[in-house]
Amino acid sequence: MNRRTFLEGVAAAAALPILGRQAPAANEWGSPVFDLHFHMRPQPPATLAHLDGAGVTKANLLTRAGSLEQVKATMGAAPDRFTWFASYDVSKPDAEQVLTQAVKDGAQGFGELKFHVAADGPELRRMYALAADLRVPLLIHFQEVDHFPNEGTWATGYAKTFAAVLKAHPKTTFIGHADAFWANVSADYRNEASYPSGPIARGGVTDTWLGEFPNLFADMSANSGNNALSRDPGFTPDFLKRHQDKLLFGSDCGCADGHGAGVSQGNNPAASRLAGKCVARETLTVLKKAAPPEVFQKLVWGNAHKLLKIPA
Ligand SMILES: [Zn+2]
Ligand SMILES: [Zn+2]
């Protein structure tokens, strides 16, 4: 080896990724995967164990305001694999101030916003206006049926009131999630169950609004998203095709290893169909089966990058 070749070799070696700190190159899903809905674990290794175990390339960390040090530690453990959203009690008087600071600190959205208020109430309306001002999306948990006695409901009134919200806040980017959002892909939903089963009555408000409103996107995470895409196999392929630019893969999975160890859906009895399973793996499997490769790639990777305005 002459001196020049040797020096080129040294330079190339220096440019090599440090093992374990970079996203895996090969991917079992046939596309890199971005998990939009991942609740940050207290310790970075536990967060990385889920990503690596489930074959997830990058994740959006859902965090609570006040956990900036933890966010920094997680991002430092694996540069280029994370973005993050911040959440804070929207009924507190300093909510706007705290969430504005989070965006200044690098948060790329609000979420998840899961609070016992009305979807069109003053607490959330303030956040819709603020998100538009700051040009960040917000992710909302809609739920009308308790999972546990006296749990209460979250961002209520979705089916009846949210079209008016979408119209009134055209500059706000909304990402819908959870039970009521997904149960309402079916036109016959009347808040009778967390996760309805069986055939979907075409023309549900979620399906309609995704088509009508450019500012509405959908987070397919959790049992709610998985159930909606699994309950009527005749519905799913066309739905994915129809809204291929609006749907975003997320897991909301609490399992330990990306293979279903530990608890995946918070011991929610209504979500027992996913007990012992990794929600990320289950939903990626459903999507891969129901969508052609170019659509699958948008759902699990491209759309999230576009929405968050980050390079893919
Ligand atoms: Zn949620
Ligand atoms: Zn999992």
Whole-number Å distance, alpha carbon 65 to ligand 1 midpoint, is 16
Whole-number Å distance, alpha carbon 32 to ligand 2 midpoint, is 17
Nearest to 81, CA basis, from 157, 156, 22, 169: 22
How high is the pLDDT of residue 135?
Answer: 98
For residue 220, give every residue at least 6 positions away whose Cβ sits within 8 Å of its Cβ, in sequence order, or none: 226, 229, 247, 248, 249, 250, 283, 287, 299
Length of the chain: 312
pTM of the shown model = 0.91
Distance, in Å, from the CA atom of 272 to the CA atom of 140, rounded to the nearest integer, reads 23
Which amino acid appears at position 82 of this protein?
F
Whole-number Å distance, alpha carbon 148 to ligand 1 midpoint, is 15
Whole-number Å distance, alpha carbon 178 to ligand 1 midpoint, is 6
Whole-number Å distance, alpha carbon 279 to ligand 2 midpoint, is 5
How high is the pLDDT of residue 26?
Answer: 58
For residue 278, give every residue at least 6 positions away whose Cβ sits within 8 Å of its Cβ, in sequence order, or none: 53, 54, 251, 253, 255, 257, 258, 259, 260, 264
Whole-number Å distance, alpha carbon 53 to ligand 2 midpoint, is 8
Q: Which ligand is nearest to the CA of 85?
A: 1
How high is the pLDDT of residue 39?
Answer: 98
Strand order in the sheet with 216-219: 34-39, 58-64, 82-87, 110-113, 138-141, 174-177, 216-219, 247-248
Q: Which ligand is nearest to the CA of 254?
A: 2
Nearest to 201, CA basis, from 190, 184, 186: 186
How high is the pLDDT of residue 20?
Answer: 46
Give phi and psi for 219, each to the nearest 5. -100, 115
Whole-number Å distance, alpha carbon 8 to ligand 1 midpoint, is 50
Q: Which ligand is nearest to the CA of 141?
A: 1
Whole-number Å distance, alpha carbon 41 to ligand 2 midpoint, is 12
Instruction: Tell me how far CA of residue 299 lies from CA of 105, 180, 233, 243, 265, in angstroms.
Output: 28, 21, 18, 9, 22
The vertex-224 CA angle with 218 and 229, nearest 5°, equals: 75
Q: Which ligand is nearest to the CA of 264?
A: 2
Over its length of 312 residues, how does the chain's per-residue pLDDT go in tens digits?
444 444 444 444 444 444 444 454 558 999 999 999 999 999 999 999 999 999 999 999 999 999 999 999 999 999 999 999 999 999 999 999 999 999 999 999 999 999 999 999 999 999 999 999 999 999 999 999 999 999 999 999 999 999 999 999 999 999 999 999 999 999 999 999 999 999 999 999 999 999 999 999 999 999 999 999 999 999 999 999 999 999 999 999 999 999 999 988 888 888 899 999 999 999 999 999 999 999 999 999 999 999 999 988
